[in-house]
C-alpha cells in the first residue's frame, strides 16, 4: 500500500510534552468495530471491558540509553537500539560521518566504547570497555532516551526518569517506553481486578527503531526493525485458556500486540516465544490471537498508525484521529489513549 495513505495533518500543539497527573486521568477515545466513537477517560477502562477479558502488559524497563561523547575533536551522540551481548549494543549515531571502525568514544564518567562494525542501516556496533556491567555504565553516563518529538522541544530532566517508566517495568532493556502502560496506576489496577478482568505480562525490549520514519513510498519496500521479546510457557497457556473460555485478549500497547501475534499460530494458539521479531502489520493482515488494543495516538505515516489501521480499518482510524484532533486530544508518548475494539 502507498505510505501516503496513512498521512494526516497534526497541529504541533497537540503533541504532549508532559503526562497528565494522575496518570489514569488521561482521556481515552473508544473506537468500536463499526467506527462508532465514545469520548471517555482511562479511569473508565474497567467499564469498557468484559469480565474474563485479559489486559496484556509489557514489563520492559527503559534504560538511560542516550549518550553523548567525544571522538577526538568531534562530538558523537549515540542512542542504543538493541543489545547484542553482555558488552555490545547496536546504536544509532549522530555525527556518524566523524566515526570510523576502530574509533573509541569517550562518553565521560569513565565510560568508553569502541566502534566495531557499521551496519547497512547506518547504525554501529559499540563495544563497551571495562569490567562493570554495561547497565552500570549507562546509569553513570546516560540519560533517558525521550522520543525526538519531545526531546526536540525541551531538554530531558529529572521528572522524565519517573514519567517515562511504567508501573510494570521490571526487566532492563528498552530504549523507548511501552507508552500505553504509562496511564496505569495502582488504583486503576485494583479497579481492573475488581471488575473480573485478567492481566498478563510479557517482555518486549522496545528499540530506537520504533521512531525511525518510513522512507519508502510503498509499505512492501519497508524493512521493519527487529526487537527481542519473550513469552514464557505459563503466560502462553494462560492466554490460550482465557481465549478458550470466551475472554478477549486486549494488548496494552503495540509492543504487546506485536509479540503476541508473533507467538501465535494460524489457529490463534499462543506458543512460548523467545527471540527477535520484526513483524510488520499493515491493512490486510489477519489477526490471529489479539482481540483489541489500548494504545496512544501515533505519528502520521508511521508503522504504528499502519498497525492500528490494520486492526480497525484505515478509513475508521483516519476518522478517529480527525475526531481526536478536533476534540483536542493529546498525542504521542505522553499523550492520551485510545481503546480499539473491532
List, for residues 284-308, the tens digit of each pLDDT value. Answer: 999 999 999 999 999 999 999 999 9
pLDDT tens-digit map of 296-339: 999 999 999 999 999 999 999 999 999 999 999 999 999 999 99
Strand order in the sheet with 292-296: 37-41, 27-32, 337-341, 292-296, 249-252, 54-58, 198-205, 227-231, 273-277
Domain range 66-143, CATH architecture: Beta Barrel (2.40)
- Which residue ranges does the chain devote to CATH 2.40.10.240? 66-143
Is the confidence at residue 208, as pLDDT, over 80? Answer: no
pLDDT tens-digit map of 91-103: 999 999 999 999 9
Domain 3-62+163-340 homologous superfamily, CATH: QueA-like (3.40.1780.10)
* pLDDT for the residue numbered 154: 93
* pLDDT for the residue numbered 332: 96
Is the confidence at residue 211, as pLDDT, over 80? Answer: no
- Which residue ranges does the chain devote to CATH 3.40.1780.10? 3-62+163-340
pLDDT tens-digit map of 111-120: 999 999 999 8
Amino acid at each position: 500500500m502507498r505510505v501516503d495513505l496513512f498521512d494526516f495533518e497534526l497541529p504541533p500543539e497537540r503533541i504532549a510534552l508532559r503526562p497528565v497527573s494522575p496518570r489514569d486521568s488521561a482521556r481515552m477515545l473508544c473506537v468500536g468495530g463499526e467506527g462508532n466513537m465514545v469520548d471517555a477517560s482511562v479511569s473508565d477502562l474497567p467499564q469498557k471491558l468484559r469480565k474474563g477479558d485479559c489486559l496484556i502488559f509489557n514489563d520492559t524497563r527503559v534504560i538511560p540509553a542516550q549518550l553523548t561523547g567525544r571522538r577526538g575533536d568531534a562530538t558523537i551522540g549515540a542512542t542504543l537500539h538493541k543489545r547484542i551481548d553482555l558488552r555490545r549494543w547496536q546504536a544509532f549515531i549522530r555525527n556518524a560521518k566523524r566515526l570510523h571502525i576502530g574509533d573509541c568514544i569517550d562518553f565521560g564518567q569513565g565510560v568508553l566504547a569502541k566502534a566495531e562494525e557499521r551496519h547497512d542501516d547506518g547504525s554501529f556496533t559499540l563495544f563497551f570497555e571495562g569490567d562493570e556491567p554495561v547497565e552500570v555504565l549507562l546509569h553513570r553516563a546516560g540519560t533517558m532516551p525521550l522520543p525526538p518529538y519531545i526531546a526536540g522541544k525541551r531538554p530531558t530532566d529529572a521528572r522524565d526518569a519517573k514519567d517515562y517508566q511504567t508501573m510494570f517495568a521490571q526487566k532492563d532493556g528498552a530504549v523507548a517506553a511501552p507508552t500505553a502502560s504509562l496511564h496505569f496506576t495502582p488504583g486503576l489496577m485494583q479497579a481492573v481486578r475488581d471488575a473480573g478482568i485478567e492481566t498478563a505480562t510479557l517482555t518486549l525490549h522496545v528499540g530506537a527503531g520504533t521512531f525511525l520514519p518510513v522512507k519508502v513510498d510503498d509499505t512492501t519496500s519497508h524493512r521493519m526493525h527487529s526487537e527481542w521479546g519473550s513469552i514464557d510457557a505459563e503466560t502462553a497457556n494462560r492466554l490460550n485458556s482465557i481465549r478458550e473460555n470466551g475472554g478477549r485478549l486486549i494488548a496494552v500497547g503495540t509492543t504487546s500486540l506485536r509479540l503476541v501475534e508473533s507467538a501465535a499460530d494460524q489457529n490463534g494458539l499462543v506458543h512460548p516465544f523467545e527471540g527477535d521479531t520484526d513483524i510488520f502489520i499493515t491493512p490486510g493482515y489477519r489477526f490471529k490471537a489479539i482481540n483489541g488494543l489500548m494504545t496512544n495516538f501515533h505519528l502520521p505515516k508511521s508503522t504504528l498508525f499502519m498497525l492500528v489501521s490494520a486492526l480497525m480499518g484505515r478509513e475508521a482510524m483516519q476518522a478517529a484521529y480527525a475526531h481526536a484532533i478536533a476534540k483536542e486530544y493529546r498525542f504521542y508518548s505522553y499523550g492520551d489513549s485510545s481503546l480499539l475494539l473491532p
